[in-house]
Structure 1
Amino acid sequence: MSATAVAELAPDDAAQALCRARRDGRRVPSKLVQPHSREAAYAIQDATLAAIGPIGGWKVGATGPGQEPACAPLPAGALVPNAAVLRGSAWHLRGAEAGVAFRLGADLPPRARPYTRDEVGLAIAAVLPAIEVAETRLADWLDADPAALLADLMCHGGLVLGEPGPFDPAWFDLRQVEAVMRFDDQVVAHTVGEHTHPDVGALLVWLANHCVARGAGLKAGQVVTTGSCTGMLFASQGTAVRVEVAGLAPLSVFF
């Protein structure tokens, strides 16, 4: 039986391999967790979260306007506060992205009709600056099929969350948002409106309805991060990563 067929038939087995990699700080060949479709990748995600703990949030993104979004649930234990120190065998890549996240103040449970932009906006309690830390459980992640990366929670390692601010619907549009990232005192990214899908409101609406179709729904207290304003940059061990998103409090993470 091929590795692809194994992934098609046994998402639980693929999830177990990914969970072992998380626990042991090792990596697995992507062919061992290779799903045949997005639906199969999402099944592996669900099995992974069932094994490692409750969902604390979601990440959602798209490669550009008009492109189909993709998403991944985030383990509650991977959401960490500002100024967190992330060291140890779990941190191989230390990829850092500056972004904007949203905390839900109300549930968006499964229902028959789709959620609208206004309804999603009313469910949001706060906006937060975020640093997503990219990691992978895949040994050959640079050459891995996108479906395998999707199954691996879209290479999620951790989400550093800064001080929350009041939500305003203007935050659904990031076309004018300025972001600065520093490694120690050196500016490594300074962008204005360079988010790959700046209409993050559309991403949140898609996610709300995707989660309904997935049988779960979004829940109050969960945090949704919406992609990168700076692109991903890789930090060396011993680096302090500092981020400023205009209109929000600064935040940092230490490797």
Structure 2
Amino acid sequence: MSLTPEHITQAAAELAARRSSGKPGPRLPESYRPLDLEDAWQVQQAVTLALGQVVGGWKAALPSPGKLVVGPVYQPAISRAALCSVPFPVDSTPDSLKVETELAFVLARDLPAREQPYTEAEVDAAVGSVHAALEICANRYTDATGLPFPEMLADGLVNNGVWLGPELDAPESPAFELGWQAGDEPRQTVQGKHPNGHPRAPLYWLANFLRERGLGLKAGQLVITGSYAGVLTVPAGKTLRFDYAGLARFEVEFSRR
């Protein structure tokens, strides 16, 4: 049975409060726990209304059976600062956080809601720049182990912000060697590979998903489309050096807000 508008509002109020306070909590009460993807999407959108924050971008991946990978990135949680202060959830360790190595597509023009689907060429023309980026990960549950996907979707799929890095020096690639180093620790490398085959594939999907929902994309928003190396646990308080195989190199240091 679908959630009632009142239950959607209750679920959103609870998740928004946890996001604002940085204090995760248990599973939502069963009476207003989202059980399917549509309920989860409605709760997610109601969280945005409850927070009253500008949507500065989106995270997306191609949908698969039982999964709808889409979520807003709020403008206050987007940073370009070399010394980046981020809200750590209280269940995290004080000296580390989780990030995902991604690319961010920054739009130079709107892709508003309309009846006609957007072509890939139209979406490409709306992209102003492509950047290296790190998604900062955390959720609003004290224990997300085995949590049904709709409950994760309602919470924004562990998005806790995005660090926007430099513009790429060459066209984006579906695979490349990714290296990173924390302080003086040994450099680590991994063969990075985009989970959907090409980093623009989720962008094309998202443009039409939001179009169908009457939302659209706006100039200035960014879109991240999936990690090239899964989830990395990195230390706080140390300079992190990343090398996207010559596509981009950057340094950043994270600290607790």
TM-score range, shorter chain: 0.7 to 0.9
Q: CA deviation at 1:89?
A: 5.2
Counterpart CA distance in 2 for 1:82 and 1:162 is 9
Assess, with a 3 A threshold, how the Cα gap between structure 1 residues 205 and 5 changes in structure 2: closer, same or farther. closer
Partner of 2:10: 13
Change over 3 Å in CA distance of 1:157–1:189 after alignment to 2: farther
Aligned to 1:40: 39
Output the CA distance in 2 between the equivalents of 1:99 and 1:155: 15
Shift of 1:119: 0.9
Do 2:8 and 2:42's aligned partners in 1 also have CA atoms closer than 8 Å?
yes
Distance 1:9 1:217 in 2: 26
- Is the Cα contact below 8 Å between 1:7 and 1:36 reproduced in 2? no
Point out the structure with the larger helix share: 1
Q: Judging changes above 3 Å, is the alpha-carbon distance between structure 1 residues 8 and 194 closer, same or farther for their aligned structure 2 residues?
A: farther
Query: Distance between the aligned counterparts of 1:150 and 1:112, measured in 2?
Result: 26
CA 1:41–1:211 in structure 2 vs 1: closer, same or farther (change >3 Å)? Answer: same
Q: 1:106 aligns with which of 105, 109, 127?
A: 109
The residue number in structure 2 matching 1:252 is 252
The sequence identity of aligned pairs, in percent, is: 29
Offset of residue 215 of structure 1 = 1.1
Structure 1 equivalent of residue 128 of structure 2? 125
The answer to whether structure 1 residue 226 and structure 2 residue 213 are counterparts is no
Supply the AA of the counterpart residue of 1:25. G
1:63/1:196 contact within 8 Å kept: no
Task: Give a deviation string over 1:101-146, Cα, whole Å, max 9, x none.
Answer: 1100011111112111111101000011101110111112122111
Specify whether residues 89 and 54 from structure 1 end up closer, same or farther in structure 2 by C-alpha distance, changes over 3 A only. same
Q: Which residue does the alignment assign to 2:77? A: 78
Distance 1:11 1:84, change over 3 A: farther
C-alpha deviation, 1:68, in angstroms: 6.1
Q: Does 1:213 align with 2:216?
A: no
| 1:88, distance to aligned residue in structure 2 (A) | 5.4
Give the 4+ runs in structure 1 shifted more than 6 A.
Answer: none
Q: What are structure 2's unaligned runs of at least 5 residues?
A: none
Letter in 1 for 2:75: A
Matches of 2:232 and 2:63, distance apart in 1 = 17
1:37-186 correspondence to structure 2 within 5 Å: 37-52=36-51, 53-62=53-62, 70-86=69-85, 90=89, 92-93=91-92, 94-165=97-168, 170-171=171-172, 174-186=173-185
CA contact (8 A) 1:7 1:14 kept: no
Distance, in Å, in 2 between the alignment partners of 1:109 and 1:141 is 35
Equivalent position amino acid for 2:16 in 1: C
CA contact (8 A) 2:112 2:211 kept: yes
The amino acid that maps onto 2:115 is: A
Q: Which amino acid aligns with 2:134?
A: I
**Aligned mates of 1:38, 1:67 — CA distance in 2:** 8
Matched residues, number:
247
Whether the aligned pair in 1 keeps the contact of 2:106 and 2:220 (CA below 8 Å) is yes
Are the counterparts in 2 of residues 8 and 35 from structure 1 also a CA contact under 8 Å? no
Amino acid at match of 1:22: R
CA distance in 2 between partners of 1:213 and 1:143 (Å)? 31
Q: Which residues in structure 2 correspond to 1:188-203 (within 5 Å)?
A: 189-203=188-202
CA shift digits 1:74-118 (9 cap, x unpaired): 111110114233355546442111111110001111111211111
Letter paired with 2:44: Q
**RMSD, matched Cα:** 2.7
Q: Note if contact 1:17-1:28 (Cα within 8 Å) is conserved in structure 2.
A: no
